[in-house]
Structure 1
């Protein structure tokens, strides 16, 4: 097979509001797919943008439509600055995740803002985006989408675990790729750190000084979501309606909240890894961990202590930009109309090639 290369900028904004990740990548296809992370940058949100995105959950339809366009223009400006600063010469297209505002597939909807039309028009590049909507329309969860990239690019690991706003896992079970959200993660921890003027709990230092509240830990661990069978995914609605009210009922100190919730995350992750390792007959499973939670040394230590698996932490660049990289791959697959969304992962009625293309003839 002739080797083919694509040069793509993947754009990722996570629910934890850490910022926008930009990854300029080279995706190559020969007998399989390979990648090079050529240039990367993580852009922190200003307080203004943090407030806009955090508050988007509650604003009117008209204001949300306006924000969708405004955010698409914002992303385009960041991409243009990135290209100029890094002196990037060749870009085939942009692949944008957008920023999730609503996600409730049980009610047949999901919404990621960052208008692809405005992003394409303002940047001057073709844009592939809206990767989740078609899957929900086909009866799926619309999430997680990263597992196809885990399979094609990181298939040597038994499990791929991402700890971002939510923790999710993917792995091969027989001939199928399986994936699902495990639990809310940084989206809860950062809610409390930001209330104290901290963007996050650096390395889990604050959490390590707290005490576990057994009543809160047990109540969290007994939530019905953890008994549900896959496919399953989580959105901010679950955090707002279920997690935060439970935590608030206990009136704990800041340190004890972080300590208890870190333990909750670690327990849920370790239980998933070890229970699935048994099904796979794996005694020494390997787990690739990426996402912002990989920098939470305290949480990673607790996962290692609670699980029998071997934890693998890659380079900082891959920890931070794996999702942006994989959305670039999703764009490459969509451009060829190859499958980039797996029914075994999302529960859709069929495997499919998801995404919407804007601006292909603007240049």
Structure 2
């Protein structure tokens, strides 16, 4: 059996997704999954590290190790769910935890110490998937469109895959490998999660219920929609350091106070509009198939808004294509690990802007 483990912790920092995957060529079979929440103190320290501050190198070094230890715990819990042993797994593909994403400055940084993870699990680890693409002049993101094409592409049929994590991104799958496009559309859950965290204390707005209780401020929405990232042409990618709570609060300070729930509803509308504004030009005004994955699919208020804004489109979960929406990204990083082992390229220059296709990742062997 050709077994791989994919590990994903996204910009939402809501937890670790671990997936045990068997591949037949590019076709994945999901054998086991494990979801593990980050402990609150760890989340707080990760949030602090994402904001420039004092003593960053020491804090980074400590968190690099700690994230790897939590990843290892997730791997062990995953394997405990079935009759699988570490020596049966060819490799772990670890996304790591993004702390900075600055492709315009030539770097991106994900922590989760690969060597520590290999030692703790007894399994070879492949990580740092984004760095080679950035070194080749690319964005290093999004990397999932190549995987989406491999598993979701349909000859002669236009499909869109929408991943709503902390940041939202789309993959445009026109049916041919050489025509695939993809880019970040802007914030997914990140601003909504930050605002909810500030006012409610939880990590996210369950099913978008709090947002649904509010009203859109067209004034605030109009100012948010002027963010320069939204006007950039692809290739483009972004991160939580671009769409921050401090950025939002600059606008809130300029006008009379809004009810917190109205801000939350406006942030939901901001996410929905930036997604739709990215999709429609790629579809050239035609209704198309849109399959959704990522944590945002559980925000019922956001899903309802997308249905309303895309009349005539076929909207569904990626489960309709055979993969549960909660595990698509973790499976994608298992696939990228498989590509590394088989010496296959994992990036699409048309998506990331890299100078050429490249084998992505760095290997940290157990021995």
What is the TM-score when the length of structure 1 is the normalising length? 0.92
Whether the 8 Å contact between 2:49 and 2:99 is mirrored in structure 1 is yes
Query: 1:197, CA displacement in angstroms?
Result: 1.4
Name the CA distance, whole Å, in 2 between partners of 1:172 and 1:80. Answer: 35
**337-346 or 306-315: bigger deviation:** 306-315
Question: 2:47 is paired with a residue of what secondary structure?
Answer: helix
Name the CA distance, whole Å, in 1 between partners of 2:196 and 2:219. Answer: 22
Whether the 8 Å contact between 1:135 and 1:354 is mirrored in structure 2 is yes
Name the CA distance, whole Å, in 2 between partners of 1:272 and 1:167. Answer: 10
* Structure 1 counterpart of 2:160: 159
- Match for residue 271 of structure 1 among 274, 277, 284: 277
Query: 1:248, CA displacement in angstroms?
Result: 5.1
Name the CA distance, whole Å, in 1 between partners of 2:331 and 2:343. Answer: 19
Question: 2:284 is paired with a residue of what secondary structure?
Answer: helix
Note the 1:80-99 alignment, pairs <5 A.
Answer: 80-89=76-85, 90-99=88-97
- Match for residue 231 of structure 1 among 206, 226, 235: 235
- Match for residue 120 of structure 1 among 118, 121, 125: 118
- Match for residue 38 of structure 1 among 31, 39, 64: 31
- Match for residue 60 of structure 2 among 47, 64, 69: 64
* Structure 2 counterpart of 1:289: 292
- Give per-residue Cα distances to partners, 1:113-156, cap 9 Å, x unaligned: 00001100111100011001111111110100111110001113
- Give per-residue Cα distances to partners, 1:68-93, cap 9 Å, x unaligned: 12221221132123212434233111
Name the CA distance, whole Å, in 2 between partners of 1:314 and 1:75. Answer: 25
Whether the 8 Å contact between 1:135 and 1:141 is mirrored in structure 2 is yes
Query: 1:247, CA displacement in angstroms?
Result: 4.4
Name the CA distance, whole Å, in 1 between partners of 2:293 and 2:254. Answer: 32
* Structure 2 counterpart of 1:21: 17
Name the CA distance, whole Å, in 2 between partners of 1:239 and 1:88. Answer: 41
Name the CA distance, whole Å, in 2 between partners of 1:249 and 1:27. Answer: 53
* Structure 1 counterpart of 2:138: 140
**Unaligned ranges ≥5, structure 1:** none
Question: 2:326 is paired with a residue of what secondary structure?
Answer: helix
Note the 1:154-303 alignment, pairs <5 A.
Answer: 154-156=152-154, 158-172=159-173, 175-195=178-198, 196-240=200-244, 242-247=247-252, 249-250=254-255, 251-278=257-284, 283-303=286-306
Question: 2:34 is paired with a residue of what secondary structure?
Answer: strand
Distance change >3 Å, CA 112–CA 299, structure 1 → 2: same
Distance change >3 Å, CA 328–CA 209, structure 1 → 2: same
Distance change >3 Å, CA 247–CA 20, structure 1 → 2: farther
**Aligned residue pairs, count:** 351
- Match for residue 98 of structure 2 among 79, 100, 108: 100
Whether the 8 Å contact between 2:96 and 2:112 is mirrored in structure 1 is yes
RMSD (CA atoms): 1.8
* Structure 1 counterpart of 2:325: 319
**Unaligned ranges ≥5, structure 2:** none
Whether the 8 Å contact between 2:99 and 2:111 is mirrored in structure 1 is yes
